[in-house]
Structure 1
Amino acid sequence: MTANKILPTTVVGSYPAVRSKGLKSIFNPYAASLETAVGDQVKAGVDIISTGQVRGDMITSLTSQIPGIRDQSVIGTLKPTQSAMTVDDTKYALSRHSQVKAMLAGPSTIAHALKIDTPLYRNRDEVIMDLAKVLAAEALRLQDTGISIFQIDEPILSTGIADMNTAQAAVREITKNLKVTTCIHVCGDIDGVIDSLLKMPVDIIDLEFSCNEKNLECVGRKEFGDKRIGFGAVDSTDTSIDSVEAIKSRIEKGVELFGAGKLLIDPDCGLRMHTRETAFGKLSNMCAAADEVRRTL
């Protein structure tokens, strides 16, 4: 990771998909999307980029490849895939930029999107733990590519639906053999789960703060120890482009609360649902705002 840079910029993951055209679209329909997502992040000045997760939503892009899942149902024993699910796109991103964050949807989030249609699993917690083993195998493959950060996306955790003890055990199953910097991303209000999140066996906790004063107040009262904070400073729900000044003001609040050395700057969540122009504008302004704050430190 960019260990020596103050306020490094990164992304949560997704970026708008651009369709391939012509013969290329037949043989590799996602090539243009991948090239555009990676190229735009580099051009915007993002320090730690992603692949853009352009092959579909973060859940079905994985579940369509996992043995034991058909459509959105668990029909058999969940097992690690024989071949990598996301490594090829990650290798491409690394060929364009030295610092890449890889991410996978988390086991709790995936499990709550699935129907259990087999007596092999007595409950959802058992599904979660087997999914964790599947994801652990993919995480090791991603680590071997030379990524800077490995992120687990668990948006379900802020809803109160998921069991936090099971979620923590599942995250531990994924991260226990990893040497790379690890991160968990949870969007939404985290007031009810922040204490559990702080116990997660990861290096970075990534949260939304751009328009969430409740999260600022809640997290500002907590002791993070050695953990760093992925500081969401760009509104991922607003279809307009956040101004440099607005993002700068948010980052300054984060620096005041946590200290510049604790923060990585990113959007609140993925940008997949925006137009390419809006997503690029948001990332460009985020990087410009981070630069301006750095110059004042």
Structure 2
Amino acid sequence: MSTNTREQFRPPNHPNEHFILTTVVGSYPKPKWLNRARDLYHGDLDVTAADRASDEPRGGFDVDVDFDERNWQEAKDDASRLITLEHERAGLDAVVDGEMRRNEMVEYFAHRIAGYEFNGPVKVWGHNYFDKPSVVDAVEYDETWLVEEFEFTNEVASRPVKVPITGPYTLANWSFNEHYDDGEALAYALAELVNLEVEKLVEAGARYVQIDEPALATTPDDHAIVGECLELIADGIPDDVRLGLHVCYGDYSRIYPEILDYPIHEFDVELCNGDYEQIDVFSEHEFTKDLALGVVDAHVAEVEPVSRIKENVKRGFEVVPPERLTVSPDCGLKLLPRKVAYGKMENMVTATREVEAELDAGEIEIGEAVSKAD
């Protein structure tokens, strides 16, 4: 997996000789009107007779008692278009639609995989509930999961589109297994399905696919299972398709350097939230993948200043040279106020372009990573 896949994402009018790829992990705050549209479609809004009779919009949303599938699809299309263009306005090199059509990263896919069923939400912590699915039969690829989402976003976007997809290990680990001998067997079966979906995405034109495996952060001893799943996913995928792996915050020393054997181009890590305490983990062995580094904190509702983000970007040069660095938020931004999420992206892009210009001018010492790469 040494193929250079990143130059295809350099904008044709890029202002600097150096190029550090900017993107987002995936999720983004949904417009409030989309949540109201969802509730209206599912019949969750408490619409009274007086509301129906009134000419005034209810809560800023015009009540339509016949809000059907066509209306709901149009609302999702509008939100996807809005957020894709918002990502472009912020200046990102590779954009996502913010996962506007997805409700939750396991539930969304489980509804589309034969063999899953739902029996109601389970309590996960405090007052939070998760509609945890059960695997009750052999999992099968019944319909495409993300191809229509990608095709719509790709038509809207003028920049390359990245496709985040929940990985098979997390799909297995965060489900009840009532059919397979163990979770490992279920993960491998799901990996075969993810491979089919990635093939369909590639046929549709996708060139940047990110596998999300947040469950690995809590069960790092299973890194070999994740590696086997990735081998199954990557089988037959063209070399020019960029494959990334995102793993949320955890003890990375328990999966490094083993992840260097994964058939991926890019490893996406969440280090900003931990003030880069673990960055030395990736210097103990030569980092042979591209590094996707979180440079703004997805868990803090403040927009970091450009000066601070620039210092965070430079931390990446302790591990890889600039031509192998991608920068993004630490994780998905969906829980933040939308204004804050946009500010983080905008400042992140500004900081990255300034770092590139300083690299062009020879003003930045990039240190040991360059000699390792040479």
Distance 1:218 1:76, change over 3 A: same
Alignment match of 1:289 (pick from 351, 355, 374)? 351
Alignment match of 1:34 (pick from 64, 80, 83)? 80
Identity %: 26
- Separation of aligned partners in 2, 1:92 and 1:162: 38
TM-score computed with the length of structure 2 as normaliser: 0.75
Q: Over residues 2-25 of structure 1, what are the superposed CA-to-partner deviations in whole Å (9 max), with x where a residue is unaligned?
A: 515611101111111121566674
Structural mapping, 1:160-175, within 5 Å:
160=219, 163-175=222-234
Residue 93 (str. 1) matches residue 138 (str. 2): no
Residue 11 (str. 1) matches residue 72 (str. 2): no
- Separation of aligned partners in 2, 1:153 and 1:115: 19
| Equivalent AA in structure 1 for residue 165 of structure 2 | L
Residue 56 (str. 1) matches residue 103 (str. 2): yes
Alignment match of 2:260 (pick from 183, 191, 198)? 198
Residue 113 (str. 1) matches residue 159 (str. 2): no
RMSD: 1.7
- Separation of aligned partners in 2, 1:283 and 1:164: 31
- Separation of aligned partners in 1, 2:206 and 2:98: 14
Residue in structure 1 matched with residue 281 of structure 2 by the alignment: 218
Residue in structure 2 matched with residue 271 of structure 1 by the alignment: 333
Residue 84 (str. 1) matches residue 130 (str. 2): no
SS in structure 2 of the partner of residue 284 of structure 1: helix
Distance 1:63 1:256, change over 3 A: same
Residue in structure 1 matched with residue 290 of structure 2 by the alignment: 228
Structure 2 runs not aligned, ≥5 long: 11-17, 38-60, 119-132, 360-374
- Separation of aligned partners in 2, 1:209 and 1:37: 25
Greater C-alpha radius of gyration = 2
Alignment match of 1:176 (pick from 232, 235, 245)? 235
- Separation of aligned partners in 1, 2:271 and 2:170: 21
Q: Over residues 101-129 of structure 1, what are the superposed CA-to-partner deviations in whole Å (9 max), with x where a residue is unaligned?
A: 111101111111111123xx111111101
* Displacement after TM superposition at 1:97 (Å): 2.5
- Separation of aligned partners in 1, 2:278 and 2:79: 33
* Equivalent pair of 2:147/2:200 in contact (CA under 8 Å): yes
Residue in structure 2 matched with residue 243 of structure 1 by the alignment: 305
Instruction: State how many pairs are aligned.
Output: 293
Q: Which ranges of 4 or more aligned residues in structure 1 deviate by more than 3 Å?
A: 20-29
Q: Over residues 183-220 of structure 1, what are the superposed CA-to-partner deviations in whole Å (9 max), with x where a residue is unaligned?
A: 11111131211222121111111111223323211112
* Displacement after TM superposition at 1:292 (Å): 0.7
Residue 73 (str. 1) matches residue 134 (str. 2): yes
- Separation of aligned partners in 2, 1:36 and 1:282: 17
* Equivalent pair of 2:220/2:255 in contact (CA under 8 Å): no
* Equivalent pair of 2:287/2:320 in contact (CA under 8 Å): no
* Displacement after TM superposition at 1:277 (Å): 1.0
Structure 1 runs not aligned, ≥5 long: none
Residue 209 (str. 1) matches residue 209 (str. 2): no
